[in-house]
Amino acid sequence: MSEEPANKSFGLLKSLKKLIFEDSPEPFVPEVKPMAGQPVVETKTGENVTKNPQTNLTQNTSALPPADVKQMKVKVLEILERINEPGMDFFEVWNAAAEMGSVNAGSIKAAFTSLKYVDKTLDKDKLVRTGQGYITELQKVIDKETSQKQLQKDSIEQNLIAEKANLTAEIQRLEQNIDELREKLNSRQKELKEINSKYEPQLQDIDAKITIGNTAVAEVITDIKNALNIIETNIN
């Protein structure tokens, strides 16, 4: 890789970034290898995929926002630039090929031939070795980032589960309270309908006693008046 600063060495990253934002006939689908100890299953199409949903990219990546994917690819290239070692290797050849407008057999061969004159140690073995090295380093970075994001996801999912449980319990309590209130309401409505029959006998009894009392007193008063008339008439 280049011994000069990144912003001066063969337009480092500029050409690769430019290619990212040009229309491509096929979407970028990164190859994801299972981590050590990760079980692998055989799909119907013969593809090996892991059982880890975070490392499987077999879903339809065309559904992802293209602009977001492109911006992330730029960030990945910047990570690649940071781990770029001094001297010429795969990265410089790859970027030089991109500078020619497209990364293909012709541009890669031309870039290799040109840069081989700058660094005599550059050969096919070095290109393959350093290219595989970049894959390994990038995979380490994404594995670390994925683990961190998974921890964040796990935390959010735990909060989700806890909040759902609390809301479910509260809803059940409220529903129970509603049932109790509904039962109490029905009971009170029944009592209201029967309230007259509860007090009517007492009221009727009081009315009867009042009538009887008034009648008795009136008769006694009449008796007294009759007696008084007799006294007035017959006693001198």
Read off the pLDDT of residues 132-159 as tens digits, 9 standing for 90 and up. Answer: 998 999 899 889 989 999 999 999 999 9
What's the confidence (pLDDT) of residue 20? 66
Return the DSSP state at 37.
T
Nearest to 95 by CA among 72, 78, 120: 78
H, E, C per residue of 45-81:
CCCEEECCCCCCCCCCHHHCCHHHHHHHHHHHHHHHH
Q: Is 51 a residue whose pLDDT tops 70?
A: no
What confidence tier does 15 reach under pLDDT thresholds 50, 70, 90?
low
Q: 196-206: string of b/e by CB count within 10 Å (b at 16+)?
A: eeeeeeeeeee
What confidence tier does 72 reach under pLDDT thresholds 50, 70, 90?
confident
Average of per-residue pLDDT across 165-178:
97
Q: Is 57 a residue whose pLDDT tops 60?
A: no
Read off the pLDDT of residues 103-136 as tens digits, 9 standing for 90 and up. Answer: 899 999 999 999 998 888 999 999 999 999 989 9
Return the DSSP state at 61.
G
State how far the Cα of 212 lies from the Cα of 36, in Å rounded to an integer: 105
What's the confidence (pLDDT) of residue 156? 97
Of the chain, the percentage scoring pLDDT greater than 90 comes to 50
Half-sphere exposure of 162 (CA within 13 A, CB side): 6
What's the confidence (pLDDT) of residue 46? 38
Read off the pLDDT of residues 194-222 as tens digits, 9 standing for 90 and up. Answer: 999 989 999 999 999 999 999 999 999 99
What's the confidence (pLDDT) of residue 12? 57
Which helix (DSSP H) or strand (DSSP E) does residue 111 occupy?
A: helix 105-116
Widest Cα–Cα separation across the chain: 168
Nearest to 85 by CA among 61, 121, 50, 112: 121
Nearest to 58 by CA among 66, 48, 72: 48
Asked whether the CA dihedral 84, 85, 88, 89 is positive or negative, the reply is negative
Of the chain, the percentage scoring pLDDT greater than 70 comes to 74
- Decide: 138 and 79 in contact? Cβ < 8 Å: yes
Listed range (44-48, 80-84, 126-130, 174-178) with the worst mean pLDDT: 44-48
**Residue 126 class from Cβ within 10 Å (0-12 exposed, 13-18 middle, 19+ buried)?**
middle
Rounded to the nearest 10°, the torsion over CA 122, 96, 2, 118 is: 50
Which helix (DSSP H) or strand (DSSP E) does residue 56 occupy?
A: none
Q: Is 14 a residue whose pLDDT tops 60?
A: yes
Q: Is 8 a residue whose pLDDT tops 80?
A: no
What confidence tier does 18 reach under pLDDT thresholds 50, 70, 90?
low
Average of per-residue pLDDT across 24-51:
39
- Decide: 73 and 138 in contact? Cβ < 8 Å: no
